[in-house]
Amino acid sequence: MAKSIQSVRGFGDILPEQTPVWQFVEARLRATLDGYGYEEIRLPLLEKTELFSRSIGEVTDIVEKEMYTFEDRNGDSLTLRPEGTAGCVRAGIQHGLLHNRQPRLWYAGSMFRHERPQKGRYRQFNQIGVEVFGLPGPDIDAEVILLAARMLRSVGLTDIRLELNTLGTAAARAAYKDALVAYLRGHEDRLDDDSRRRLETNPLRILDTKDAGTRAVLENAPALSDWIDADSREHFHALCAMLDTAGIAYTVNPQLVRGLDYYGRTVFEWVTDRLGAQGTVCAGGRYDGLVEQIGGRSTPAIGFALGIERLVALIEDGGLAPSPRGPDVYLVAAGDAARRQGLVIAEELRDALPGLRLVTHCGSGGFKSQFKRADRLGARFALVLGEEELAAGQVSLKELQSAGEQETLPRAELVAALRERLPKESEGHE
């Protein structure tokens, strides 16, 4: 026997017993986004590699080490998307969505990064992202943070804290980088290997290091807040005032810098201590220069992304996952004629009761084995169709999760009987 093929490391299956919590999360998040008037955009998995090297930054970890990049048969360099913002900006420019408009968009789907897999971090992972264009003020910063807060609450998560910072303008960051590098050069022997490498490429990323020795060096480093320009400082103070008024608790974290080059001014993260090192559940910020950098007109923009795997892990760990829903009805049929007619009855019921979850028994097995199957699936009712019922134009209905009697009904009364007994959500009225 040939050796079975396993999934690629970091690319996991989501099994049927796991999908109900995913569906719950996705439905709640989509409903919240709809309530804010955000519109869905669906983006391709593959983009030209240049899109990410120009937007994310040539010297970021993502572009240097983590992207899945290859040449196609035409010799074009293509990349599986490692994040969604760049593709959304590209689509906005390409299709004229940003010209004299202020679109509020969202997207969902898989992203790909060649990282070391661990809890909360996979090589294929799923995000819901939000991007807003054309609005420069702190009010839209406040709205997207409020939106993220409501999305988290919608799935039952209330113990996640918000951290904020401002990165100022590109000119302010450039001046700060020079001061930071000059300071760290004097302590280079105390920096960890990653930080020494980033000193040459992306020194701001050193600020969010987890290495204890490097963090000790940073305690006396120049503070980014001392280099923030007046306009960015005013923007940030206005944002904080709006969040205070809205009752959103937050912590200003001066070492929050985010890992992508395109961010400027407002940056934020929703974080938790319940996922170990992978504690960021939602992250985003302003990227006012990115549209122009990719080839469009200068356009202010802000966005964020929520990691679905991390939300699911928090919901499951907290006992908040919804109970799996079994079938409403399992159709038990004996005999070839009953099975043929059972398929017809099943279709009639699905037509009449939208949202009904009905499973018909297929394959061999007598009444006893079919009832066992219905019990294993957690069905609420068994719909029984045998030769006697078929000849009399009747069906039998038995409640399986209680000691109720089996009731025989005329076939014409079955829809009304089920509608009376089933909860409203089974009829599409959620």
Q: What is the mean pLDDT of the chain?
A: 90
Task: Give domain status of residue 186, yes or no.
Answer: no
Is the Cβ–Cβ distance between 347 and 414 less than 8 Å?
A: no
Q: pLDDT digits over 115-127, tens only?
A: 887 776 789 999 9
Name the residue with higher pLDDT: 321 or 288: 288
- Predicted confidence band at 260 (pLDDT cuts at 50, 70, 90)? low
CB 237: neighbour CB atoms within 10 A? 12
Structure token pair of residue 110: 């898989």
Tell me: do 97 and 142 sit in the same domain: yes
Tell me: do 69 and 136 sit in the same domain: yes
Q: In CATH, what number is assigned to the domain containing residue 341?
A: 3.40.50.800
Task: Give domain status of residue 180, yes or no.
Answer: no
pLDDT at 102 over 50: yes
Q: Which of 317, 349, 364 is the last residue of a domain?
A: 317
Tell me: do 311 and 343 sit in the same domain: no
pTM, to two decimals: 0.87
Q: Which of 266, 289, 317 is the last residue of a domain?
A: 317
Q: pLDDT digits over 56-81, tens only?
A: 765 566 676 789 999 999 999 999 99
Give the pLDDT score at 427: 46
Instruction: Tell me the angle at which helices 336-352 and 414-421 cross, rounded to the nearest 10 degrees.
Output: 60
Task: Give domain status of residue 210, yes or no.
Answer: no
Give the pLDDT score at 428: 45
Give the pLDDT score at 259: 63
Task: Give domain status of residue 323, yes or no.
Answer: no
Structure token pair of residue 267: 């940056």
- Predicted confidence band at 112 (pLDDT cuts at 50, 70, 90)? very high
Question: Please, what's the largest Cα pairwise distance for the chain?
Answer: 93
- Structural domain total, the chain: 2
Tell me: do 295 and 351 sit in the same domain: no
Q: What percent of the chain has pLDDT over 90?
A: 64
Tell me: do 115 and 92 sit in the same domain: yes
Q: pLDDT digits over 385-406, tens only?
A: 998 888 899 999 999 987 767 8
Is the Cβ–Cβ distance between 130 and 303 less than 8 Å?
A: yes
Q: pLDDT digits over 8-57, tens only?
A: 999 999 999 899 999 999 999 999 999 999 999 999 999 999 999 887 76
Tell me: do 308 and 418 sit in the same domain: no
DSSP states along 265-295: SEEEEEE-STTTT--EEEEEEE-TTHHHHHT
Q: What percent of the chain has pLDDT over 70?
A: 95
Distance of CA 390 to the CA centre of its chain: 49
Amino acid at 158: T
Tell me: do 99 and 152 sit in the same domain: yes
Tell me: do 373 and 402 sit in the same domain: yes
Task: Give domain status of residue 206, yes or no.
Answer: no
Rounded CA-CA distance 67/284 in Å is 20
Tell me: do 254 and 395 sit in the same domain: no
pLDDT at 270 over 90: yes
Rounded CA-CA distance 346/36 in Å is 39
Tell me: do 137 and 270 sit in the same domain: yes
Structure token pair of residue 80: 């599986």
Q: In CATH, what number is assigned to the domain containing residue 242?
A: 3.30.930.10
Domain span at 349? 329-427
- Which phi and psi angles does 395 have, rounded to 5°? -140, 155
Which residues, other chains included, contact 89 with Cβ-Cβ below 8 Å and sequence gap of 6+? Answer: 55, 131, 290, 291, 294, 296, 301
Give the pLDDT score at 429: 38
Give the pLDDT score at 163: 96
Task: Give domain status of residue 281, yes or no.
Answer: yes
Phi-psi region of 341 (alpha: psi -120 to 50; beta: other; left: phi over 0): alpha
Q: Which of 260, 291, 317 is the last residue of a domain?
A: 317
Task: Give domain status of residue 338, yes or no.
Answer: yes
Tell me: do 33 and 104 sit in the same domain: yes
Task: Give domain status of residue 3, yes or no.
Answer: no
Tell me: do 338 and 363 sit in the same domain: yes
Rounded CA-CA distance 169/134 in Å is 17
